[in-house]
Amino acid sequence: MIVVEDEAFQRETLMEFLGTNGYRASGVDSGSSLRRLVEKDPPALVLLDLRLPGGEDGFALARYLRERSRKLGIIMVTASGDTVDQVVGLETGADDYIAKPYEPRALLARIKAVLRRAGGADAATPGARIRIGKCLLDLQSRRLTALTGEEIPLRSGEFELLRLFAENPNRPLSRDWLLETTSHREMEAFDRAIDIRVLRIRRKVEIDPARPTSIRTVRSAGYMFVPPED
């Protein structure tokens, strides 16, 4: 694990806390130091401060880390609690976001959750059949079938949305990004097309659409596909 924090006391305090809870953590104070350490010893998870010296912020580093690995866990730990920063952080590749000051036990719970997800389902590959709720999505044939074998009608826009979820398991995806990626057009004010598609999809894939467990709503962010554990 790597702690990216330019303030020495906070960095050392966090590393000590992680050490007492059984995690091996290294600390760096800049993006350049992070890159060198990642090249030498790729981590399972990075705790990433948003505001850093040297002209490179946490958003750019999150994109760099996500390009290197889809399974690497990234949690942004920052003094900024702004909702826009949270959404942008998630869009650039972060798995989670916690604002300072935080409760150490809450951070520890988030670390465990991200590591658990990172060690779970890999991103979908072309031709794969992905389990989504009570259904299987075939990315090659673009077909959705129930586990019982019944084929479920699927619109083109619904398939594109399901494909994005399948390719990005356990990652919050914003409504704006989903809309731009699936519709290939400029967004209209108050466009709720994604919410409508998600509602239709949930009716097809969820065991209980009123209590979705596969396509979950992420507050202030968007939606997230959570693969089944069984």
pLDDT the model gives residue 200? 94
Residue 230 falls inside a structural domain: no
pLDDT the model gives residue 72? 85
Asked whether residue 21 falls in the same domain as residue 88, the answer is: yes
Asked whether residue 139 falls in the same domain as residue 112, the answer is: no
d(CA 211, CA 208): 5
Task: Enter the tokens of residue 208.
Answer: 């209980």
Asked whether residue 9 falls in the same domain as residue 113, the answer is: yes
pLDDT the model gives residue 2? 92
**Structural domains in the chain (count):** 2
Q: What letter represents residue 66's amino acid?
A: R
Asked whether residue 77 falls in the same domain as residue 169, the answer is: no
Asked whether residue 66 falls in the same domain as residue 165, the answer is: no
CATH number of the domain that residue 221 is part of: 1.10.10.10
Residue whose tokens read 């390009």: 67
Residue 206 falls inside a structural domain: yes
pLDDT the model gives residue 118? 64
pLDDT the model gives residue 82? 60
Find all residues with CB under 8 Å of 205, minimum gap 6, and list them. Answer: 132, 133, 134, 135, 144, 162, 214, 215
Residue after which a domain boundary falls, among 61, 94, 118? 118
Range of the domain at 194: 129-225
Pairing of strands 151-152, 73-78: unpaired
pLDDT the model gives residue 43? 85
Give the residues of the chain that fall short of pLDDT 70: 54-55, 80-90, 117-128, 183-191, 230
pLDDT the model gives residue 126? 46
d(CA 30, CA 5): 7
pLDDT the model gives residue 137? 92
Q: pTM for this one?
A: 0.52
Q: Maximum Cα–Cα distance for the chain, whole Å?
A: 59
Residue 124 falls inside a structural domain: no
Residue 123 falls inside a structural domain: no
Strand order in the sheet with 2-4: 26-28, 2-4, 45-48, 73-78, 96-99
Asked whether residue 100 falls in the same domain as residue 158, the answer is: no
Residue after which a domain boundary falls, among 85, 118, 151? 118
Residue 197 falls inside a structural domain: yes
CATH number of the domain that residue 102 is part of: 3.40.50.2300
